[in-house]
Amino acid sequence: MARLLIVHHTASPSTQAMLESVLEGARTDEVEGVEVVTRAALAATAVDVLAADAVVLGTPANIGYMSGALKVFFDTVYYPCLAETAGLPYALYVHGNNDTTGAVRAVESIATGLSWRRHRPPVTVVGDLTRADREACWELGAVTALAAAEHAEAARRAT
């Protein structure tokens, strides 16, 4: 079974709502054969990443950067996962009160260093969430779950 890992730092009602929408999309009945594993950023490990077929990352934008918790996650998994996860599909959602640019840039820079493959553009929200924002998060979860299934199938064919 394919595995989608969702690593998040959920520090506000807005990031909680985004996470819930991503989870609903990832667990939709329209996507079959994908186990969805959720880890808080400070609890996620290299073992979690190595077992994943795709990753969704979620963070607030704090002082123009990703959350400290997500940065700790990257610091923890970077070298243990560097050689083994090249090409891993990932997606990102970010919430900010004023701007999300720096947080997106930082996450994408690290993901590029890991040679992960961005599956789709990030969902970024500034201010209050709208229905369209929640739908975008739902879609992010669903299509990244599909990416996990495709990645797992490609890995099976390669062996």
pLDDT tens string 7-55: 999 989 999 999 999 999 999 999 999 999 999 999 999 999 999 999 9
Nearest-10 Cα torsion for 29, 57, 130, 135 = -20
Does 62 score more than 90 pLDDT? no
Does 111 score more than 90 pLDDT? yes
Calculate what percentage of the chain has a pLDDT beyond 70: 100
> What pLDDT score does 158 carry?
86
Does 159 score more than 90 pLDDT? no
> What pLDDT score does 84 carry?
95
The percent helix, strand, coil of the chain (3-state, each to 5) is: 45, 25, 30
| Strand pairing class (123-126; 89-96) | parallel
61-79 mean pLDDT = 96
- Domain harbouring 114, CATH code: 3.40.50.360
The residue assigned the tokens 């999309």 is 25
- Residue 76's contacts (CB-CB under 8 Å, 6 or more residues apart) are 44, 45, 46
**Residues 99, 48: Cα–Cα separation, whole Å:** 30
Tally of structural domains, the chain: 1
- Is residue 114 within 8 A of residue 83, CB to CB? The reply is no
> What pLDDT score does 14 carry?
96
What's this model's pTM, rounded to 2 decimal places? Answer: 0.97
- Structural domain including 115 reads 2-158
Token digits of residue 74: 């990257």
